[in-house]
Each structure stands twice: as structure tokens, then as C-alpha cells.
């Protein structure tokens, strides 16, 4: 099998930061031509840090395989370049501040009035209506508004997620929405107007704790690295190091008691008989498990758990993850060119047999401006 699934699809994205660039980078990995329109001075995510050969770790993650064109959309000549690109595009994406797309007349109503076959995707913080429609939104702030921060951390202090989870959720829904619209266009010839709001995307991911709190009549349970509503599920100390284990059902619980802990009677103990019982008596249960592990190191405990069929994991740093033996064994890293050097980038999660992802270079600011100006002038 040759080629890529989105060969021949052109995406023009007036984008910045994380959510929209994450969506369009995945389209680029599938073979789409993605033209990234950057303001004078560039996407501000280019300056978040300088850790990857002088480039931002955010930017190199989000923008491989794209063409960068630097345009001042208030300048008539530059605006003409954008208009020419839009006329040739299959997909237009924008995540400008609220109201900017309408002022620049790159909103869906304007562009699709002339080209109904266009797929237009807008990304915002809070959606196009309602009292928050003009409010700026960044990842941490949306984590706050959706209850994620109050659901994470410990009893003493709430905490944010360690990654840009609101942006990632939003980018994923924009990506899947665009793919769906392109599929539908193949059948109907009609494009689509898509809108993805960060509060809706992360809100979907927050549904379980939201339902649990609303219908359970209790505030969020902040339990650190332990699961708030399943036990035992989380970290346990050994003689050397911690092991994370997860019990999902009563069969696994009985196996843990009998085969690993050597305490089969615990399975029927009224304190631990059901998951609700185990959550209510989490501290007592953790003490019992850790006492059983006290004479073993984490590797020995992991071996016992594996032989018993009990899910477990070791705690790794992000840097240790890049050297994970499972990823190495599966050859999951590929070299990607960035301005100033080469980096190892993780393959996209979905493997398509016979169609490796493109994973093209990360562009320098305005690297393709001259070529694109010449192209649209033809």
C-alpha cells in the first residue's frame, strides 16, 4: 500500500498555542498539506522554552510536517495571500481570540458562503454563545472551570494536571471532527462548520467525577496518586521503591489476597469485601498490603504481581519514559528534523499497516513564506 490517507488535502490553519496546532499536526502526519499561518514574530508557543536544539518543546511537538508562512493579516497584500490560500483549501482551522475571526472575516459564515464545500473548524475556550463567549481561556484556567483541579491533588491542596490536558482534549476532538467532516464530504459534496470549545472537550473527560459528585452527594475525593473510587488502586511501598497496582474486580481481589498477600481470608473480611468497603477502609488496606511487601523490593513485588495476573506499574519520570524498554523494543521513535538539529519523536498512537506517518520537519518561522507567495501569485 502506498501514499497516505490525506494525500491531496490542503489545510490552512490560522493557529497558535496548543489545541489547534495539535489537531493540524495529526492531519499532517496523515499526509495532509498543512499551511500554518503565523503572525509577525510567530506563534507565541515558539517562545515557551528553548530546550530542543534552541526550539520550544511545545512547538516541536505540535508543528512537525507543516509549512510556516508569516503574514500580517492587517496588511492588504498579506491578506491577499491568505485569501488565495483559503480559495485552494479543503480545511480551514482557526483558534484566534474571541471575535478575531469575525473581524478578519475568516469565520465560517463568511468563508463557507463562498465555498460551501469547505470544512471550517473553530476552536475556542467557552463556545460561541453564553456569558463566557468573549472570555480568554488557557489550559490551566479551563482545568479550574471544569472541576479538574478540584478533583486532583491531595486533601491539603488541589493540583493541576501535569500536561496541557484541556488543550489536548480539544485538539483531539477538533482532529476527529475534521476527519468526520472530510469523510462526509466525500459522500455528500458538502463541507461543514465545526466548533470545539475547551470547556466542552475537557468537560466530557470530567463526566465521571462530575456525575459521581452530583449524584453521590459528596465533594470530589482528592487522593493523590491513588484512585478516588477504586481500591486497592495506586502506590504501595516496598522494601525498596514503590509499586503501583490496580484491582478492577472481585476475582482479582481474591487472587491478590490468596496468591500475592498469602491472606485468602481478607477477601471475605467485611472491611474489604466489596470495592466500596475497600475504599472506605483504604488506610487499613494499604497498611496490610505494604506489610506484605515490606520484605521485598519493587522488582520482586512486580514479578509476583505479574505471575498472579495483577496489573501493576513502576513510577517513571518523563525522561525515563523516553527510554522505556517497551517503546525501544517496538521501535516507536523516529528522527525528525528541527531548526538547529535532529530530535527523536514518538510515532503517532494509531498504526496503519503499510502507511507510516509522514512526520516531516518542524518549520522555522516563515520558512515557506517566499515559496507560498510565489505559488499564489501564479
Give the C-alpha separation, 70 to 43, whole Å.
Answer: 9
Give the C-alpha separation, 365 to 3, whole Å.
Answer: 28
Neighbours of 248 (CB within 10 A): 12
Give the C-alpha separation, 149 to 164, whole Å.
Answer: 12
- Is 227 one of the catalytic residues? yes
Give the C-alpha separation, 377 to 375, whole Å.
Answer: 5
Cβ neighbourhood burial of 193 (10 Å; 0-12, 13-18, 19+): middle
Give the C-alpha separation, 172 to 349, whole Å.
Answer: 12
Q: Do the Cβ atoms of 375 and 46 come closer than 8 Å?
A: no
Give the C-alpha separation, 128 to 66, whole Å.
Answer: 28
Beta bridge partners of 68: 36
Q: Do the Cβ atoms of 266 and 257 come closer than 8 Å?
A: yes
Q: Residue 260 has what DSSP assignment?
A: I
Out of 53, 227, 273, 281, which one is annotated catalytic?
227
Cell readout for 70 is: 508569516
Active site (catalytic) residues: 227
Amino acid at each position: 500500500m502506498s501514499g497516505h490517507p490525506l494525500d491531496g488535502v490542503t489545510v490552512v490553519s490560522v493557529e497558535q498555542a496548543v489545541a489547534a496546532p495539535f489537531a493540524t499536526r495529526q492531519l499532517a502526519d496523515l499526509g495532509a498539506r498543512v499551511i500554518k499561518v503565523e503572525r509577525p514574530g510567530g506563534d507565541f508557543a515558539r517562545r515557551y522554552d528553548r530546550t530542543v536544539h534552541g526550539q520550544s518543546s511545545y512547538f516541536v511537538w505540535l508543528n512537525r510536517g507543516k509549512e510556516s508562512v508569516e503574514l500580517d493579516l492587517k496588511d492588504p497584500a498579506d491578506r491577499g495571500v491568505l485569501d488565495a490560500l483559503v480559495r485552494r483549501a479543503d480545511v480551514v482551522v482557526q483558534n484566534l481570540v474571541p471575535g478575531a475571526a469575525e473581524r478578519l472575516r475568516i469565520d465560517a459564515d463568511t468563508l463557507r458562503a463562498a465555498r460551501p464545500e469547505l470544512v471550517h473548524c473553530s476552536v475556542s475556550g467557552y463556545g460561541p454563545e453564553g456569558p463566557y463567549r468573549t472570555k480568554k481561556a488557557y489550559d490551566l484556567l479551563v482545568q479550574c472551570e471544569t472541576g479538574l483541579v478540584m478533583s486532583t491533588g491531595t486533601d491539603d491542596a488541589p493540583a493541576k494536571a501535569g500536561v496541557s490536558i484541556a488543550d489536548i482534549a480539544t485538539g483531539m476532538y477538533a482532529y476527529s471532527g475534521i476527519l468526520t467532516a472530510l469523510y462526509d464530504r466525500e459522500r455528500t459534496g458538502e463541507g461543514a462548520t465545526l466548533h470545539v470549545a475547551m470547556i466542552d472537550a475537557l468537560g466530557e473527560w470530567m463526566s465521571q467525577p462530575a456525575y459521581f459528585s452530583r449524584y453521590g452527594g459528596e465533594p470530589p475525593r482528592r487522593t493523590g496518586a491513588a484512585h478516588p473510587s477504586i481500591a486497592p488502586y495506586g502506590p504501595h511501598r516496598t522494601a525498596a521503591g514503590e509499586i503501583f497496582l490496580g484491582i478492577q474486580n472481585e476475582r482479582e481481589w481474591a487472587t491478590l489476597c490468596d496468591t500475592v498477600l498469602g491472606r485468602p481470608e481478607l477477601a471475605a473480611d467485611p472491611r474489604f469485601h466489596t470495592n466500596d468497603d475497600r475504599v472506605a477502609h483504604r488506610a487499613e488496606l494499604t497498611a496490610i498490603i505494604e506489610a506484605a511487601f515490606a520484605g521485598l523490593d519493587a522488582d520482586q513485588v512486580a514479578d509476583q504481581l505479574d505471575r498472579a495476573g495483577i496489573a501493576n506499574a513502576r513510577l517513571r519520570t518523563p525522561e525515563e519514559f523516553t527510554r522505556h524498554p517497551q517503546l525501544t523494543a517496538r521501535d516507536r521513535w523516529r528522527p525528525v528534523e528541527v531548526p538547529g538539529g535532529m530530535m527523536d519523536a514518538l510515532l503517532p498512537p494509531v498504526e496503519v499497516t503499510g502507511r507510516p506517518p509522514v512526520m516531516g520537519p518542524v518549520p522555522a518561522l516563515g520558512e515557506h513564506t517566499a515559496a507560498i507567495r510565489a505559488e499564489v501569485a501564479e
